[in-house]
Structure 1
Amino acid sequence: MLNTLQNTPLWVYAIFLLLCYYGVKALSPTRESKTSLLVTAPILLGWSLYSLNLTLNPQLSVSCWLAAVILGSLAALLIFPRKGVELDDPQTGLIVPGTAKTLMLYLLFFAVNYYFGYQDDVHPEMAATLEMLLLKASASGFVCGLISGRALKFYRLLLTLQAKRPQIATG
């Protein structure tokens, strides 16, 4: 175990600390901008899809990944409540109440990627089996689905709250 930690590249620790920073920051109310809600999900989905190993059975891998993204998105709709979410002062973003769920989500994202990176480095023969490739596709897809589902839910909520705000009379 210690050998694994010692051989982990420094940039991995930097990403871990960054995710921890944003996760701990999410324990208190945070502002979610429209841009962050629109940009985060496609970037993570693209990265996740790009990281799939499509050598053995590409159709099955992508199918497992896509099913997991959908399941993760549906789970996010249940896990992240609308309660307490409100428009910020310029009414261009949301103020989201603090929660530990975001920290857990970030740590889950890191753990999944770290585990499969470890398997690729230490047990490349096992990591290349169809079962492991499908597990990676499913786990990665589910976590990305959670993050994307959260972003989509809050984006739709932002649009709904913006549509309900009082219109300022002009003229």
Structure 2
Amino acid sequence: MIDIIKHTPLWVFALFAGLIVLGVKQTRAREVTLRSVCVLPVAMAGLSVFGVYSAFSGVIALAVWFVCLVLGWGVARQFGLPKGVRYINEQHVFHIPGSKVPFILIMAIFFTKYCVGVMLAIQLAVTQSTEFMVIVSAIYGILSGIFLARGLQILQARNNQIDLQPA
């Protein structure tokens, strides 16, 4: 284990620290702009699809990722809007209550990418199997789908707020 940590590039630790800070911020109530609501889910989905592409670079892996993204999105949509989200029209910001869900999703994507990277670097035989590719692509896809659904559901608060205002 120590060897793995020793051979991890420094930028990975910097990224990890940055993601922890970002994740902790998500656990507190905050007001964010439209841009901020969109950036995090898109960035995490991008990191996720990059993880699939860099590890497997095949059409099948990307297809599994996409199908699982849609499944994760669909499941997350069933849970509805994060409770207490409001759009403040006068300030053009979203009030989002704190939640541990984004922090957990961020860490899950990071650790999946890290563990897969380590497994590929030490050339474990399992990493060459179709099952491994499908499982990893599915994990990335599901996590990305949940993240994107949350972002889209937060955006829906803006539409709901606009629809409720008198003409």
Counterpart for residue 3 of structure 2: 3
Aligned residues: 164
2:27 is paired with a residue whose SS is coil
TM-score if structure 2 supplies the norm length?
A: 0.83
Aligned-pair identity in percent equals 22
Which is higher, the Rg of structure 1 or of structure 2?
Answer: 1
Q: 1:54 corresponds to which letter in structure 2?
A: S
CA contact (8 A) 1:72 1:142 kept: yes
Q: What is residue 134 of structure 1 aligned with on the other side?
A: 134
- State the Cα RMSD in Å: 2.3
Q: Which residue of 2 aligns with 1:54?
A: 57
Task: Report 1:16-27 matches (<5 A).
Answer: 16-27=16-27
Q: Please state how far the C-alpha of 1:150 moved relative to its aligned partner.
A: 0.9
CA contact (8 A) 1:91 1:162 kept: no
SS of 2:126 mapped into structure 1: helix
Contact kept in structure 1, 2:48 and 2:109, CA below 8 Å: no
Within 5 Å, give how 1:1-171 maps onto structure 2: 1-50=1-50, 51-52=52-53, 53-55=56-58, 58=59, 60-79=60-79, 81-88=81-88, 90-123=90-123, 125-166=125-166
For residues 102-154 of structure 1, the C-alpha deviation after alignment (integer angstroms, 9 at most, x for no partner) is 21111111111111111111125432322211122111111111111111111
Give the letter aligned to residue 152 of structure 2: L
Cα deviation, 1:14-52, whole Å, max 9, x if unaligned, reads 111111111111221022321233344444434433442
Give, in whole Å, the separation in 1 of the partners of 2:116 and 2:88: 39
**In 2, Cα distance between the equivalents of 1:24 and 1:45?**
19
Please identify, of 118-127 and 141-150, the stretch whose mean Cα deviation from structure 2 is larger.
118-127
Name the CA shift for 1:74/1:105 in 2 (closer, same or farther; >3 Å). same
Partner of 1:123: helix, strand, or coil? coil
CA 156–131 in structure 1, closer or farther in 2 if over 3 Å, else same: same
Show structure 1 runs of 5+ residues with no match. none
Structure 1 moving runs of 4+ over 6 Å: none
Deviation at 1:66, TM superposition (A): 1.6
The secondary structure found in structure 1 opposite 2:95 is strand
* Alignment TM-score, normalising by the size of structure 1: 0.82
